[in-house]
Amino acid sequence: MVLLGFIFLLVTASYIYDLCRDRGRSSGRVPRRASIVERDSKYAIGSIGEDSVYQYFLGKSILGWIVAASVVTVQIVALNIFVKAAVKDFTNDASDFIYS
């Protein structure tokens, strides 16, 4: 629930920022050149990877954000299950932490 709340706040803050930025452009500010925006977009996608689900965080699609947030949530839940199930007793031979 904390993660979903954080994502909701992030989306809301991004939306408000876009509204304020668009309002500033109408008051005479010069928008960024299209070539710079395109270059930045290609760099971001290239850094993340075109076949990564995390590229959806860079888009403006609500469905993409839902898919990416769902994947992150499932990964956190799975990690939590593995951490809770891990045996942390160093004297037990069934422990995941066995050193010779």
Please state the domain extents for the chain: 51-86
CB contact at 8 A, 63 and 53 = no
State the DSSP code for 53. G
Contact 77, 3 (CB under 8 A): no
Residue 78: the pLDDT is 94
pLDDT on residue 90: 66
Q: Quote the DSSP letter at residue 28.
A: T
Global pTM reads 0.43
Instruction: Please report the pLDDT score of residue 96 as a whole number.
Output: 60
Question: Which residues in the chain come in under a pLDDT of 50?
Answer: none
- Measured CA to CA in angstroms, residue 4 lies from 34, 46, 69, 81, 89 at distances of 33, 27, 8, 19, 33
